[in-house]
Amino acid sequence: MRRIKLNEILVPLICGIVLIVVSISLFQDLTGRSKSEGEVIGFITYRYRVAQRRAASRVVWEDAEQKDSVYNQDTIRTDEKSEALVTLRNGTMIELDPQSMVVLSMRNDAGEIKLAQGSVVLRKPTSEDRLTFEQGGKTEFIKPTGELRLTLNGKSAEASGSFEFERKGESFKSERDSIRVEESRVERSRPSFSELFPPDNFRVFTDRDRQDITFTWAGAALNLEVSESRSFTSPLLRQSVSGVNSFKTPLPEGIYYWRILAEGKTSLIHKFRIVRTTEVRLLSPIGNIDLRDDSPFIEFAWSESKLAVSYHLRVATDAQWKNVVLDKEMIRNSGVFPLPPGEYYWQVEAVGALPGSNSSTSIQRFSVKDARVVEKPADKQKEGSASQDVTQKPQALPDKPEGIVPSPGSVVDMSTRDTLAFQWKPVNGAQRYTIILYQAGGVQVYRVDTKQSMHVLTDLSVLDTGSFAYEIRAYTASGESSSGLIPFSVSLGAQLEKPRLKN
């Protein structure tokens, strides 16, 4: 019988181990969300429909969400009929058109934006930024001096706006002109038409299904074309405009491109976007608010705006905002803050990522009064009889709910749990309870009604490690009572990963 040699065992064993390690790594790369490390150079401040991000060390794309961090050497791309806005830490704003891709890097606050596909607009660039692209196997550099658009069209590139460009000792400087860069030549051109409206990258915000768009231009034109693609392969509209300088048509929400055609000349292609908005409405507080027991906290809530990256909450004692008592920038569309009894006015501004997308609610008035103070009615004088003092007896308010679990000031270790239980002392005559969970800073993250004196939280995505507080409100026939805020903390075992907050 032939003896098996050691290398005949080791070689297959080593190959098997390598195969297992590679398979595990590939599986994690395909299924796991990237935990990028290194230098954060900016954020995705706006995303419309589909935008994706890929880290330099990965081969798999992942969906990009609004407010996601962008790291050095990240690649960002957009899908068809999608767009994204990236803001670098130096303030430079990069707007990606549909079907566009850029590689972003930064060194000493100087941004380098490499356009690999499609078209981008740079806003508020710094003097150290530069925009690059490949042409004939060589890297070309454009230095922006103001707002700039760069578009790749097959084997050529077109730049328009304010920029400086050099090639083979020849310098091109522009404030309004455009250049077409090919492998063998650079061609400068001036716009054939002026005073075009809508201008490039213009946005119209509307709450209607269709919005009237008025196109205007200076100069003799033959046709107006509107398309959903920059290539104009299938124009939505081709309208004869001979003898006129404007045309109006209704269009639904979407991204559009338009141009003017004449004999032997074509205008620059301008992109515009119709954005459907929803009105932000104030939900609470409205009208009169009764403070019960010793809880001075008022819950503020308003409807969410998909365009907003933050909200500006203001509360004042007068409608002219001369005495502002609360002024907060918030990420969520709710919060809890203490207010003493009095009359107040409040308003919320939705701060959008896109220029011109900010919107404000109407101003609402509400009042806060201490329901524990019971006023005596005025003396009543009966005709033909002596005056008689009539004093109303204070109304018996329900007992306060007392939190049992989590106990006040306790630390809850979630490393071995998949639920979080809340329990409190029952209140006599309580018809229902409301439990509200607050994150540090008074931000409401969870709320539920129940008829029992306990509740089990199963959606742990609302939790993070750190400080929390919960409040129990009891509702009886005689009124409402509150436990006040009961603080506690959440911790995790060192071996576990910190949970990701739900957007």
Give pLDDT, residue 355: 78
Question: To which residue do tokens 């002026």 refer?
Answer: 194
Please list the residues that pair with 87 across neighbouring strands: 43, 93
DSSP string, 423-462: EEE--TT--EEEEEEEETTTEEEEEEEESSSEEEE--GGG
Amino acid identity, residue 78? T
Per-residue pLDDT at 187: 87
Q: What CA–CA distance (Å, rounded) separates 475 from 400? A: 10
| pTM for this model (two decimals) | 0.64
May I ask the CATH class of domain 402-491? mainly beta
Summarised one tens digit per residue, pLDDT across range 112-171 is 999 999 999 999 999 899 999 988 788 999 999 999 999 998 889 999 999 999 887 788
DSSP string, 210-261: EEEEEEEEES--SEEEEESSTT-SS-SEEEE-TT-SEEEEEEESEEEEEEEE
Which residues touch 175 (CB under 8 Å, ≥6 apart)?
145, 146, 162
- Give the model confidence (pLDDT) of 309-332 as tens digits: 889 999 999 989 999 999 999 888
SS3 category, 269: coil
Reported as a single tens digit per residue, the pLDDT across 279-293 is 898 888 876 665 554
* pLDDT of 374 strictly over 60: no
pLDDT, residue 338, reads: 83
3-state secondary structure of 394: coil
Cα(312)–Cα(335) distance, integer angstroms: 11
Cα distance between residue 52 and residue 101, in whole Å: 9
Q: pLDDT tens digits for 86-108?
A: 999 999 999 999 999 999 999 88
Q: State how far the Cα of 166 lies from the Cα of 486, in Å rounded to an integer.
A: 65
Domains 40-190 and 195-276 in one fold: no
Q: Are 90 and 82 in contact (CB under 8 A)?
A: no
Give me the residues paired with residue 443 across strands.
439
Architecture of the 282-370 domain: Sandwich (2.60)
Task: Answer yes or no: is pLDDT of 369 > 80.
Answer: no
213-263 pLDDT, tens digit each: 999 999 888 999 999 999 998 899 999 999 999 999 999 999 999 999 998
**pLDDT score at 162:** 92
Domains in the chain: boundaries: 40-190, 195-276, 282-370, 402-491
pLDDT for 297: 75
Percent with pLDDT over 90 in the chain: 38
User: Are the beta carbons of 410 and 489 closer than 8 angstroms?
Assistant: yes
Mean pLDDT of the 188-214 span: 89
CATH code matching the domain that covers 40-190, chosen among 2.60.120.1440, 2.170.120.12, 1.20.120.10, 3.40.50.360:
2.60.120.1440
How far apart are alpha carbons 498 and 461 in whole angstroms?
11
- CA distances 295 to 394, 400, 484, 497, Å, are 19, 11, 5, 36
Helix (H, G, I), strand (E, B) or coil at 24: helix
Q: Which residues pair with 205 in a beta bridge?
A: 275
Does the domain spanning 195-276 belong to CATH 3.30.70.3040? no
